[in-house]
């Protein structure tokens, strides 16, 4: 039997004799009430205000409605909440939650919303390092890069004895004719090749690059900048660089050796290297045939290339036999044998770098770091930085507010789904604004703990 509906009331199938109807008359309601935790996190680490200081606004102050700080915060909070496109903000500009996060409940001008729409935000994303007649908002790339490292340093109450910096390059697929597009044979499509540097869950570098380069291109410059900034704050910290074979380059290893930085890089196998572990491979094969499962042996030796390395270096080989065939792997390191024996070096230290790939997935899948659809590389780099700041904000919420909850190790996407996407009725009075969230929310306990931890962190 068809249900009855009107322009104001929608009827659905009855349940136990009661009519089921719906209408859009609930008043001020938001679907993102959990974003209040994002605001509390931002106050704890002061991300948005400092990020906004990396921009310069040359617009006439008496003619503008939305300050740069409002625009920057709106973009970062929007990405953290899952709104990847600027066009989303034409609706979000009327959302009470974004107004709360922006600290601006009403517009100065009649007919304007408290926060900006897509056109104004687009001016922010198209800003240049230097202001011009048509681009009144500019940004300082060096200041943005330094801020990411400062936020990492401030996340530690005291200087650690050692940190591991993971480097990796990944593909950022392109689907238009953006500046710098290049067909990459390995990834099978047009893409950029951004460089990422993480320390655990902390993001330190997100550098957009063309893909017609070596994976390690520019790594020495980025590492030199990072190490200098870190050692200014932590002069005695021991630093270990970790990366796959794409970063096993003479220039990077030589720089590390001359600046007291350790490294552990994958080493691409070749015939000479495989010949070096013939005995170990044979032993692994015998073990595998006897047990019916995979087997591995390790060998530690000093190695030098024919002409590309300036010196001999320590190499650890994994001689593995699995699924009826050899699977040898090699790493090169500056770590001495007394600090890490071969098996532990490979299995516990090197293989742990795979966790970084999960962090990159979070940035690209949960925070839309691969949404580089602007025409210029400059604008796409800025988009990448906005996504990076959104990741840092969510990572701080996870680290500070959720550290003793079931979400302490959750992905950014899970945190968003479980704790940020909470519907609430918004009531405004002279003295307060109340978000009435569902009484049956299954994660209200975690929400309460996060609020308490963030409130304590701000004091």
CB 207 within 8 A of CB 219: no
Domain at 142-366, CATH from 3.10.590, 3.40.1130, 3.90.350, 3.40.50:
3.90.350
Q: Check residue 6 and give its pLDDT.
A: 52
Cα 185 to Cα 189, 212, 379, 388, distances in angstroms:
7, 10, 25, 27
Q: Check residue 5 and give its pLDDT.
A: 47
Give the tokens for residue 75.
């973009």
Q: Check residue 10 and give its pLDDT.
A: 92
**Which segments of the chain have a pLDDT < 70?**
1-7
Q: Check residue 25 and give its pLDDT.
A: 85
Q: Residue 427 and residue 437: Cα distance in Å, rounded?
A: 11
pLDDT tens digit string along 363-390? 999 999 999 999 999 999 999 999 999 9
DSSP 165-184: EEEEE--EE--S--TT-EEE
For residue 335, report the phi and psi dihedrals to the nearest 5 degrees: -70, 130
**Domain definitions of the chain by residue range:** 29-139+368-458, 142-366
Spacing of C-alpha 84 from chain mean position: 14
């Amino acid at each position: 039997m068809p249900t009855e509906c009107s322009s104001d009331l929608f009827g659905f199938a009855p349940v136990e004799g009661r009519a089921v109807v719906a209408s859009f008359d609930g008043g001020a309601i938001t679907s993102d009430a959990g974003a209040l935790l994002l605001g509390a996190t931002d106050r704890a680490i002061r991300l948005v205000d400092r990020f906004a200081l990396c921009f310069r606004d040359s617009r006439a102050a008496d003619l503008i409605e939305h300050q740069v700080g409002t625009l920057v915060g709106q973009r970062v909070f929007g990405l953290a909440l899952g709104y990847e496109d600027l066009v989303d903000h034409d609706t979000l500009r009327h959302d009470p939650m974004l107004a709360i996060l922006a600290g601006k409940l009403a517009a100065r001008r009649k007919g304007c919303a408290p926060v900006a729409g897509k056109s104004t935000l687009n001016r922010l994303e198209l800003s240049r390092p230097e202001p011009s007649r048509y681009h009144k908002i500019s940004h300082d790339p060096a200041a943005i890069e330094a801020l990411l490292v400062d936020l990492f340093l401030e996340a530690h109450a005291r200087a650690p004895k050692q940190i591991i910096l993971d480097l990796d390059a990944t593909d950022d697929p392109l689907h238009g004719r953006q500046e710098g597009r290049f067909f990459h044979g390995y990834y099978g499509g047009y893409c950029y090749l951004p460089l990422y540097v993480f320390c655990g869950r902390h993001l330190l570098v997100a550098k957009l690059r063309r893909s017609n380069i070596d994976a390690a291109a520019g790594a020495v410059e980025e590492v030199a900048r990072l190490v200098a900034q870190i050692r200014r704050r932590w002069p005695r910290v021991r630093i270990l660089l970790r990366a796959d074979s794409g970063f096993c380059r003479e220039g990077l290893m030589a720089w590390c050796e001359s600046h007291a930085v350790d490294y552990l890089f994958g080493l691409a196998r070749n015939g000479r290297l495989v010949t070096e572990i013939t005995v170990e491979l044979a032993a692994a094969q015998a073990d595998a045939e006897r047990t019916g499962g995979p087997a591995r042996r390790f060998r530690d030796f000093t190695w030098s290339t024919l002409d590309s390395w300036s010196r001999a270096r320590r190499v650890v080989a994994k001689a593995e036999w699995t699924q009826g065939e050899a699977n040898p792997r090699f790493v090169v390191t500056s770590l001495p044998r007394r600090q890490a024996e071969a098996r532990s070096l490979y299995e516990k230290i090197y293989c742990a770098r795979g966790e970084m790939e999960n962090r990159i997935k979070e940035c690209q899948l949960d925070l839309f770091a691969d949404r580089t659809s602007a025409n210029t590389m400059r604008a796409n780099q800025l988009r990448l930085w906005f996504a990076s700041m959104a990741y840092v904000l969510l990572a701080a919420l996870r680290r500070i507010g959720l550290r003793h909850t079931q979400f302490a190790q959750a992905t950014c996407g899970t945190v968003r789904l479980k704790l940020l996407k909470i519907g609430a009725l918004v009531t405004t009075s002279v003295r307060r604004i109340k978000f009435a969230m569902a009484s049956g929310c299954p994660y209200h306990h975690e929400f309460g703990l996060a609020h308490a931890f963030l409130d304590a962190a701000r004091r």
